[in-house]
Chain A
Amino acid sequence: MSTRSIVPFGPQHPVLPEPIHLDLVLEDETVIEAIPSIGFVHRGLEKLVEKKDFNEYVYVAERICGICSFIHGMGYCSAVETVMGIEVPRRADYLRTIWAEMSRIHSHLLWLGLLADSFGFESLFMQSWKLREKILDMFELTTGGRVIFSVNMIGGVKRDIDADTLKLFLGIFDDMKKELNALTNAFLNDYSVNSRLKGIGILTKDKAHELSAVGPMMRSSGIEFDTRKLGYAAYNDIDFEIITSLNGDSYARTEVRIKEMFQSIEIIRQAASKIPDTELSVKVKGFPQGEHFMRVEQPRGEAVYYIKANGTAFLERMRVRTPTFANLPAMLEVLKGCQFADVPTLILTIDPCISCTER
């Protein structure tokens, strides 16, 4: 006769980079249901629009999360620029695209390391994060910061990447591709890794749509949608295919993120070859009035930045719908029916960013 029990998972767990609590209802070793509890890192950042004016708020937006920092800043600035009718110089659009794609690579490498750590492959975790250091060094070279680098401003960007530095980066990416190939070969072809990923946590295409999954979580179930195709920043000038997989399991989610890293390198190459020589920013006059939903593609998926402005220096509302928040229902769905030992890996396959979720 099977036994039902409730096992608490988190908020502290060796595999979790950030706190989230799940009450796992188990029947023997099989998860029947998972009930989430969040709120451990809720900082009330959206309420800070009452205290920080729309220019200062860029610094708050960037600090929603450390991994997704740059794209948070870019999404917020783009939303305000749209409301104010500001046309950002084209070079700034290209620079934003380059830094955004570098953010995507470093985020996926961070995730790969955490995934390896979740099934005890410590050396693969170390190699992933060692490779990630190259991206962080490139951020530091161009912006002065490694994690939160504050280059976005309303009207453009604060810093430039000159032609010599771009050429240096392309050389680094060429070398990196060889190391990435060796690293990702382990994730995709190693027998022990595959046994922890293949056929585990399947999310069907219909379920992914019903549960409003976004990003690689959704694309690995076969849905072809990428917010970059809306053409914000310089993406309307860049050719790229949307990467999908059909299996919807943990392996498919890993495969999609790995392919996205290689694709990001090609996007950066394209952007570097097309970047025009213009100013970096325009002067901002007046205050925003109106509202706008800005959608961008974070490494974890579609993020929505909603701002409502009333013609004063302080916004009436700023709301961020982050991709992890959208992927929580999908995570709860893939946990149903899984083995207890697979729970840490499955939670990681949505690439959770709890700081983003709770704001």
Chain B
Amino acid sequence: MIIQNITTIPHENLLETVLKIKHEGYRLVQICATTIDAEYEITYSFALGYDFLSYRIMIAEDTEIMSISPVFSPAFLYENEMKDLFGIKVNLISLDYNGKFYNLDKKTPYKKTI
């Protein structure tokens, strides 16, 4: 199996890590949230040329995290998606749809009952 470059970091260090990555010239590839037991696992992936790496944070259901959209502007799409589908609390998104990004009938459909 190919070993993926995924580093778990404390969520408090997220912005600092992301700023360093931006300074090195990486682009944002994707942000993915997964429910693991009683926590959310959020993986931020970046690429520079063909190099690909990911940083991961683990947060509890009610933890609020800071948006990385001031650093990587395309992040607003992924963060709004996480808010709508999982109910993850992301603060200070550059363009915040306040739960109306996907116009869903059912609120936070991907959120598992923990």
Contacts and interface: CB of A to CB of B under 8 A. Distances in A.
B32 A35 contact: no
A212 B72 contact: yes
Interface stretch (A64-72, A157-165, A322-330): A322-330
What is the predominant secondary structure among interface residues of chain B facing chain A?
loop
B2 A229 contact: no
B8 interface: no
B96 to A, nearest CB: 12
Nearest to A44: B109
B74 interface: yes
Contact of B50 (A47, A229, A304): A229
A210 B77 CA distance: 15
Interface stretch (A109-117, A169-177, A265-273, A285-293): A285-293
B72 A225 contact: no
A230 interface: yes
A317 B50 CA distance: 24
A42 interface: yes
Contacts of B49: 225
10 contacts: A40-B103, A42-B102, A82-B2, A209-B27, A212-B74, A225-B49, A293-B4, A304-B30, A306-B43, A308-B34
Given A38-B102, A47-B110, A317-B34, 16 more contacts: A39-B102, A42-B104, A44-B109, A82-B1, A83-B1, A212-B29, A292-B2, A302-B29, A304-B30, A304-B45, A317-B32, A321-B29, A321-B32, A328-B74, A328-B77, A358-B102
A85 B1 contact: yes
B45 A293 contact: yes
A46 B110 contact: yes
B102 to A, nearest CB: 4
A183 interface: no
A30 B18 CA distance: 35
Given A210-B73, A293-B52, A293-B54, A38 B101 contact: yes
A142 to B, nearest CB: 30
Interface in B1-42: 1-2, 4, 6, 27-30, 32, 34, 36
Interface size class of B (residues with CB under 8 A): 20 to 34
Interface string B95-114: 10000111110000110000
Interface in B43-66: 43, 45, 49-50, 52, 54
A211 interface: yes
A82 B27 CA distance: 25
A336 interface: no
Contacts of A27: none
